[in-house]
Amino acid sequence: MATQLPSKILIIGATGNIGKYITNAIVSAKPPIAQQISIFTSQATASNPSKQALLTSWKSQGVTVVTGDLSNADDVKKAYSGIDTVISCLGRNALLRQIELLKLAEESKDVQWFFPSEYGTDIEYDASSKDEKPHQNKLRVREFIRDNLNRVQCTYVVTGPYIDMFLPLVPVAEDAGGFDTKSKRAVVIGSGDEKIGFTTMPDVGKLVAAALRHPEASVGKVLKVQSFVTTPNSIVAEFERQTGTKWTVDHTSNQKLREVEKEKWDANSPIATLYTLKRIWAEGGTLYDKTDNEALGLKPEDMEPLSAAVNRAVNGEGY
């Protein structure tokens, strides 16, 4: 696999928030990355009216839809038959289910390459990363891979925060920062001049597709990739440029963010994770001397700019 392109790809979680971007990029890649692309999904998702347009589009492009129960080992084994590359796009709440998926991949005779769902924040950025609560499930998956996988090779595509999800100002968590296009108001962490590395959600797909196309640079690697580096103040300036309006800007200090973060975790709040991630990003946990974009054949001009993500937000396009 280290010298060969994938032949038959199976995508798990294809219709989810990030999965649809990854799947679209792989399906539409020119020239084609693989001979066969399949997605594994539940019968409920396959019959969900809200998913039909997406699934129909993929089927028209030659994608095979395999239905089954992710928690049923026989269903997974059947889906793995003939597959050499598995791409997991499972969401945060389902990350630990990957341990069984990886175990079955190692036991299979066909699967050689596995992409765990690592898109997002770097969970091994520095010595403090191991103690961050939102990282624990991904860390357990990495530990399982290190201790138990011998035949199957893995690739981690670490993208940092998705700018598309970073932008919205969440009403119940305004002090965590964000940008509200209706009120033309922004809340930024710290001074607003701190740099953050971002990836747009379409670019996550592009980066995974590039990793598949360059196995010599990606097999067995932790890839640190991103679309661009910017600051919250630069984001405000871009919103002002595109809306033609001066925005109101409020600030949350780093200390205040840490205090609220602790309060949310102490209260078992479901939005505690958001505060932790916003704090990690604001404190530089997305910055690198060099990314792996170039090793995947991607230049800065190949990636979406900040203006594209802001434009989608201004136009009310969801993700």
The DSSP letter of residue 204 is: H
Comparing C-alpha atoms, which of 186, 182, 304 is closest to residue 243?
Answer: 182
Number of domains the chain contains: 2
In this structure, the number of other CB atoms found within 10 A of the CB of residue 44 comes to 10
Do 13 and 143 sit in the same domain of this protein? yes
Residue 247: what pLDDT? 98
Residue 115: what pLDDT? 98
**CATH (domain of 149):** 3.40.50.720
pLDDT tens-digit map of 90-112: 999 999 999 999 999 999 999 99
Q: Check: CB of residue 168 under 8 Å from CB of residue 162.
A: no
Do 18 and 105 sit in the same domain of this protein? yes
**Two tokens, residue 280:** 């990690």
Interior CA angle at 205 toward 202 and 207, to 5°? Answer: 110
Residue type, 136: Q
In this structure, the number of other CB atoms found within 10 A of the CB of residue 170 comes to 14
Give a yes or no: residue 56 inside a domain. Answer: yes
Percentage of the chain lying above the pLDDT 90 cut: 98
Active-site residues, by number, are 138
Residue 3: what pLDDT? 61
Residue 2: what pLDDT? 53
Give a yes or no: residue 290 inside a domain. Answer: no
> pTM, whole model, 2 decimals?
0.97
| Sheet architecture: strand order including 85-88 | 64-67, 36-41, 8-12, 85-88, 113-115, 153-154
Do 186 and 253 sit in the same domain of this protein? yes
Comparing C-alpha atoms, which of 18, 16, 14, 40 is closest to residue 27?
Answer: 14
**Alpha carbon distances (Å) from 20 to 51, 53, 164, 186, 228:** 10, 12, 14, 29, 21
What's the mean pLDDT when you consider all of the chain?
97
Do 172 and 258 sit in the same domain of this protein? yes
Do 239 and 174 sit in the same domain of this protein? yes
Do 240 and 263 sit in the same domain of this protein? yes
Residue 4: what pLDDT? 80
Do 145 and 261 sit in the same domain of this protein? no
Q: Check: CB of residue 149 under 8 Å from CB of residue 99.
A: no
Give a yes or no: residue 222 inside a domain. Answer: no
Beta bridge partners of 8: 36
Q: Residue 173 belongs to what domain range?
A: 163-196+230-282
Do 191 and 140 sit in the same domain of this protein? no
Question: CA–CA separation, 144 vs 105, rounded Å?
Answer: 13
Determine the length of the chain. Answer: 319
Beta bridge partners of 158: 224
Give a yes or no: residue 121 inside a domain. Answer: yes
Tokens 């205040």 — which residue?
Answer: 256
Q: What is the 3-state secondary structure (H, E, C) of 74-101?
A: HHHHHHHCCCCEEEECCCHHHHHHHHHH
Residue 165: what pLDDT? 97
Do 136 and 189 sit in the same domain of this protein? no
Do 248 and 122 sit in the same domain of this protein? no
Residues of the chain with pLDDT under 50: none
